Amino acid sequence: MENNSLRLGGQALPEGILIKGPIFTVIAYRTENEIETVSIKWGFKVVNQLKTIPFLRGLITIVETISLSLKSIFVMAEITDEEVNTDSVFFKIIIGLMFIIVMIFTIGLVIFIPKLASNGLVNLLNIKVFLSTWIELLIRFMLFFVYIYFYRFFLIGKKMFKYHAAEHMAIHAFEHKKKLTINNLREFHKEHPRCGTAFLAFVFIYANIIFHTLVFDVNFLFMIRLFISLFVISLTYETLLVGWKSNNLIVGKILNLPGFLLQKITTIKPDDSDLELAIIATKKCVELHNE
């Protein structure tokens, strides 16, 4: 596969940097003395064909991203701890419980706490009830962005935000046909228009605005929310894709601006060691696709 037709993506992991192509995914991570890589064949012909269909490709991409993230957790757990058996029922139960706990915490943070807080303010300050919906929305967004921002100050958050920036810079260099060196990577922004974090964040933002603007018939609430959620995911992906393809034009810069602003929070200027990980992962991924 020629470099000019190869589209790469990436993810920051707690243990390293993941670079993904249409067929192969590579994770670069550090051991005590050197950098190691692990390769995963993660490409499905049918899926890649479906990803060419407008509005359907956004849904495919988000499912694929979540699946690959879980797969990466299993792979890195097996590599970094020889005593871990990722095929064991016990390990899968632990991962499942951790996922459920995170989901419960997230749902509580972005749904129930804003709802209770807005109701409390309405009663305490005698605010008109119709304003409670918008107060709830404001609280939800504030909690969302504060949560992301303060994650930067934890050791794991700081490391992952550096990895996040490094993989963006490596993909920028690759897309601009620059040699993958630390100095060349430093020429590029740590933000990228196709950032998956921006994609997920704006799905959350757009969905909340729509759900707080429309009035639903309770009998059809679930199906309407499901349909609109799928539409929001698709629309957000198509918007980001247009922004990326027209990044050098004014319309592209306008479309990419919200995502870039969000990435000011979710990326931190990487060290040379972070860039080195991104370079090795990117080179290996390109090499596998060129074989």
Q: What is the H or E stretch that residue 219 is in?
A: none
How confident is residue 232, by pLDDT bands cut at 50, 70 and 90?
Answer: confident
* Per-residue pLDDT reduced to its tens digit, 100-159: 776 676 666 666 777 778 778 877 877 776 677 778 778 877 887 888 888 889 999 999
How confident is residue 244, by pLDDT bands cut at 50, 70 and 90?
Answer: confident
Which residue type does 13 have?
A: L
Q: What is the H or E stretch that residue 185 is in?
A: helix 182-185
Question: What is the C-alpha R_g of the chain?
Answer: 21
Check residues 162 and 15 and name the one with the higher pLDDT. Answer: 162
Distance CA 247, CA 267 (A): 19
Out of 20-29, 77-86, 157-166, 181-190, pick the least confident: 77-86
Check residues 109 and 160 and name the one with the higher pLDDT. Answer: 160
Per-residue pLDDT at 163 exceeds 90:
yes
- Candidates 11, 122, 134, 119; CA nearest to 73 is 11
- Predicted confidence at residue 141, as pLDDT, reads 79
pTM for this prediction? 0.80
* Per-residue pLDDT reduced to its tens digit, 8-22: 999 999 889 999 998
Q: Domain limits of the chain?
A: 3-190+267-290
How confident is residue 284, by pLDDT bands cut at 50, 70 and 90?
Answer: very high
Q: What is the H or E stretch that residue 29 is in?
A: strand 24-30
Which residue type does 216 have?
A: F
* Per-residue pLDDT reduced to its tens digit, 71-96: 787 788 777 665 556 566 666 677 66
- Predicted confidence at residue 173, as pLDDT, reads 96
Distance CA 153, CA 14 (A): 15
Is 266:224 a contact under the CB 8 Å cutoff? no
